[in-house]
Every structure is written in structure tokens, then in C-alpha cells.
Amino acid sequence: MPMDAREIERMIREALPDAQIEIRDLAGDGDHYAATVLSSAFKGKTRVAQHQMVYGALQGRMGGVLHALALTTGLPQD
């Protein structure tokens, strides 16, 4: 069963409450998404660590229910 973009956003927001999140369904199949996540929680973290934080928020659904997620992460602009 594919994962809904709103569910992805909800899970990320639970882990990163201040996040600015944009999610795009790349193939229209609910399995291939691109997400931009900006959060002050990423301050001082490497890009890899930022991505790990987002993947952690998805609680093991990557590679299973959610097949692909192209991530762009960073700090919000003031």
C-alpha cells in the first residue's frame, strides 16, 4: 500500500516541529517522492546527519511502504 504525502509530512513534523516541508509525488504512484525539509534542528549537522534525522522520523518505512524519497535538507532562511 502506497504512503500518502500527508502522512509523510505528519511524521516529519512530529520529529521536527519547526520544519518547513514541501513534498512532491514524482511518479503519481505514492511510492516515489521528493521532499524539501528545512529546520533549525539541522544547525551544525552534516547533510548526511540531516537526512538521517528525516529518515528516522519515518520510523522504518523507507524501503518498505515508502519506496523512494529524494531529500533536500537545510536551514530555513530568516
Q: Listing from the earlier edge strand, what are the strands of the sheet with 32-38?
A: 20-25, 32-38, 68-74
For the domain that residue 53 is a member of, what is the CATH number?
3.30.300.90
Q: Give how many domains the chain has, as a whole number.
A: 1
Tens-digit pLDDT profile for residues 11-52? 999 999 999 999 999 988 777 889 999 999 999 999 999 999
pTM value surpassing 0.95: no
Q: Which domain holds residue 34?
A: 5-74
Residue 18: partners with Cβ closer than 8 Å, 6 or more residues away: 39, 40, 41, 76
- How far apart, in whole angstroms, are the C-alpha atoms of residue 30 and residue 5? 7
Strand partners, 32: 68
Q: Is the pLDDT of residue 78 over 70?
A: no
